[in-house]
Amino acid sequence: MTTREIILNRALELFNLRGIENVGIRELATDLNIRPGNITYYFPKKEDILVELGKQLSELNSATIVKLENPSMTDFMERYRQVFNNHYEYRCLFLSFVSQMQQNKKLSENYGKVEKSRLEDFRKILNKLVEAGYLDTSVTEDDIEQLVSFLSLVARFWISESTVSYKKLSKKQAINHYLNLIGFVFSKHATIIGKKQINSFLSGL
């Protein structure tokens, strides 16, 4: 492992553990038994570490969100379960979501691009779920926009809320909580078979 990778790995660990703002370059350096200026050599600004971690998360999600030909309702839920797991591994980014997006221009740019295409993907998936008879045909384009809005809100902030309000919950419990919420909202727009898949997915958590 290169020095650069060592720094990135340990930074992610410490950031997840104690928050990005609460872990200084000096502390990270001490922890790694190197000098602060050495970190600065690989990452001139602290921001640059987070840009890299953001890319890692993005790639991780790209790897899990493989495009399916004929997605089922189960596939859809399972996909979100995996995305949530990925998010958790990089939870420090979400816990400082707003401040990072405001301060870190590059991270913000990267996230903006990825998220845009990601939402587009989910829009398509939802349309396919309608075509395939998992979501009601009464679901309009406008409804799909609302569902996508809902999904993006949950995806962005579930970690923040669970950290603040559901501290006692384990990772799995927290993820299940928000999967249940998604299932709850979606089942109201699902067909009978769609509802069945949601319920069996949720009860299998």
Partner DNA sequence: ACATTTTTAGGACAACGTCCAAATTTATTT
Partner DNA sequence: AAATAAATTTGGACGTTGTCCTAAAAATGT
Specify the residue, 177 or 196, whose C-beta has the smaller distance to a second copy. 177
Tokens matching residue 56:
């890692």
How far are the Cα atoms of 89, 155, 165 from residue 57, in angstroms, in the given order? 8, 13, 24
Q: What is the per-residue binding string for a second copy in 29-68, x denoting contact by CB under 8 A?
A: ----------------------------------------
Partner touching 86 among a second copy, DNA, none, CB below 5 to 8 Å by kind: none
* 99 forms part of the interface with a second copy (CB under 8 A): yes
How many helices (H) and strands (E) would you count in the chain? Answer: 11, 0
Specify the residue, 38 or 180, whose C-beta has the smaller distance to a second copy. 180
User: Comparing C-alpha atoms, which of 6, 15, 13, 7 is closest to residue 39?
Assistant: 7
Specify the residue, 74 or 187, whose C-beta has the smaller distance to a second copy. 187
* 87 forms part of the interface with a second copy (CB under 8 A): no
User: Comparing C-alpha atoms, which of 67, 191, 51 is closest to residue 113?
Assistant: 51
Specify the residue, 127 or 160, whose C-beta has the smaller distance to a second copy. 160
* 25 forms part of the interface with DNA (CB under 7 A): yes
CB 23 within 8 A of CB 14: yes
* 40 forms part of the interface with DNA (CB under 7 A): yes
* 108 forms part of the interface with DNA (CB under 7 A): no
Choose the stretch contacting a second copy; rule: CB under 8 A; options: 9-17, 42-50, 126-134, 175-183.
Answer: 175-183
Count of residues that interact with DNA, criterion CB under 7 A: 18
User: Comparing C-alpha atoms, which of 18, 156, 4 is closest to residue 92?
Assistant: 18
CB 119 within 8 A of CB 83: no
Rounded to the nearest whole angstrom, what is the least distance from the CB of residue 166 to DNA in the complex? Answer: 27
CB 159 within 8 A of CB 88: yes
Specify the residue, 30 or 180, whose C-beta has the smaller distance to a second copy. 180
Count Cα atoms within 13 angstroms, Cβ side, for 193.
Answer: 8
Where do contacts with DNA occur on this chain (CB under 7 A)? 3, 23-27, 34-38, 40-42, 44-47
